[in-house]
Chains A and B, each alone.
Chain A
């Protein structure tokens, strides 16, 4: 469904991504991991068509996003949901207006219908719509903002692909757990493919079917969890070393649940 093929990308003379190739199948969840500044978020920006690669192709259902006109890109973006790193909620709009933003902009639905859908979606992400719908994003906690951002992405596009950019960064353990549960719920109930950019390996393990490790702008690993843990690649080992305890815990939990 999604394919990156030999993609190079950089800013001015600095190469950020070098020869990136991977595939994301339908309904597959992929975690893109790596140290800060390794170019993880850039992959999502490229997939959204916000940037164009210097070399290589990015195809979505066989269509090359790099060769599309802006109008065509706008159409394909309607099939993708993006949750930005800090939510990127429109701070001058209320929670309700944020969640219903896409419908207000792109549909001819009546206000009552949009309002009903917004209430339903805020409920879906585990928040009380009546309590928060008229609040501004600044009045919510970080975890609540992230959930509102997910609600906005879902109601916006009824997406085939969900992209999460560091969805749990900066959140307390309780909020992190809630966000991960919500992502799991989405995976089960909505059957969407998802790409999650993170440097929290425990989060990635709880969501992803496939793991990609980016190091120095190159793919150091692309495969399943057991292969990741057994990888002898120096770049992967360096990245995983600080997370040994988390991985051991994940392994114990998997063993117990098996």
Chain B
């Protein structure tokens, strides 16, 4: 595809991978641990009423891998990365740096958009997997110390639901979200107008639109994939 053709900016891509991946690590760790624990705590109480608290591991695996992990990681990365990308490109535009780039015969799409998009495609699924793992681990802490479920029961229930369908959804969603974050944030950056105020407006809009789009797209993916992968779930 011409979009990814030569010249390809490897160093920019690696720099963006570092900024998106390593830079978002603390956010993902905190999100995963507290969301997982909160979720496990709420469900353990409900399940205990039905005498089904041994199923906590199953519920955690399904809900975290299919829904909560991708959506939470997507929203957190959108808040941090989409804002950064839009603000950076918007500021470059308002100070004529994009025009300067064009004037020097450089394609700003290849220089600015492609490395960020590629970095997102690689790092968003990686961060989501990490978020899932930490959230499920957070559930384990609640299961063992508060719900008094044995570790073996919790982990074997989790393992039972680590099946192809769930794992596929868990990887597919963040890949789609990375396109959503990449396209929307760069679009708002390039289309920002009106100096610093305009950059501020574009950044806010970028985060809002990206977050809403992630939630809407998440619903439709769940709906479509559920009907397509019925036998695998």
Contact B96 A157 (CB under 8 A): no
Contact A77 B103 (CB under 8 A): yes
Contact A85 B107 (CB under 8 A): no
Residue picked from B7, B96, B104, most chain A C-beta under 10 Å: B104
CA distance A82 to B107 in the complex (A): 16
B102 at the binding interface (Cβ < 8 Å) = yes
**22 residue pairs bridging A and B, Cβ less than 8 Å apart:** A50-B102, A70-B107, A74-B105, A74-B106, A75-B105, A77-B105, A78-B104, A80-B103, A82-B103, A84-B96, A84-B99, A88-B95, A88-B96, A90-B92, A90-B97, A90-B100, A102-B105, A105-B104, A105-B105, A105-B106, A156-B104, A157-B104
A122 at the binding interface (Cβ < 8 Å) = no
Q: How many residues of A contact B (CB 8 A)?
A: 23
List 6 tightest A-B contacts by C-beta distance, closest first: A88-B96, A88-B100, A74-B105, A84-B96, A82-B103, A78-B105
Contact B103 A91 (CB under 8 A): no
CA distance A91 to B106 in the complex (A): 17
From 75 to 125 in chain A, residues with beta carbon under 8 angstroms from any chain B beta carbon are 75, 77-78, 80, 82, 84-86, 88-91, 101-102, 105-106
Q: How many residues of B contact A (CB 8 A)?
A: 14
CA distance A183 to B40 in the complex (A): 70
- Which chain B residue shows the least CB distance to A75? B105
CA distance A89 to B91 in the complex (A): 12
CB distance from A169 to the nearest CB of B (A): 13
Q: Which of A75, A86, A101, A105 contacts B96 (CB 8 A)?
A: A86
A48 at the binding interface (Cβ < 8 Å) = yes
> What residues of chain B lie closer than 8 Å to A78, measured between beta carbons?
104-105
CA distance A86 to B92 in the complex (A): 12
CA distance A74 to B104 in the complex (A): 7
Residues of chain A touching chain B, judged by Cβ–Cβ distance below 8 Å, are: 45, 48, 50, 70, 74-75, 77-78, 80, 82, 84-86, 88-91, 101-102, 105-106, 156-157
> What residues of chain A lie closer than 8 Å to B96, measured between beta carbons?
84-86, 88
Contact B99 A50 (CB under 8 A): yes
CA distance A248 to B7 in the complex (A): 54
CA distance A160 to B107 in the complex (A): 22
CA distance A156 to B92 in the complex (A): 19
CA distance A101 to B105 in the complex (A): 11
CB distance from A1 to the nearest CB of B (A): 18
CA distance A157 to B106 in the complex (A): 12
CB distance from A95 to the nearest CB of B (A): 15
Contact B102 A77 (CB under 8 A): yes
From 81 to 108 in chain B, residues with beta carbon under 8 angstroms from any chain A beta carbon are 91-92, 95-97, 99-100, 102-107
CB distance from A129 to the nearest CB of B (A): 20
CB distance from B77 to the nearest CB of A (A): 21
> What residues of chain B lie closer than 8 Å to A89, measured between beta carbons?
97, 100
Contact B100 A77 (CB under 8 A): no
CA distance A85 to B107 in the complex (A): 21
Asked if A101 meets B104 with Cβ closer than 8 Å, knowing A85-B96, A88-B96, A91-B95, the reply is: yes
CA distance A185 to B213 in the complex (A): 55
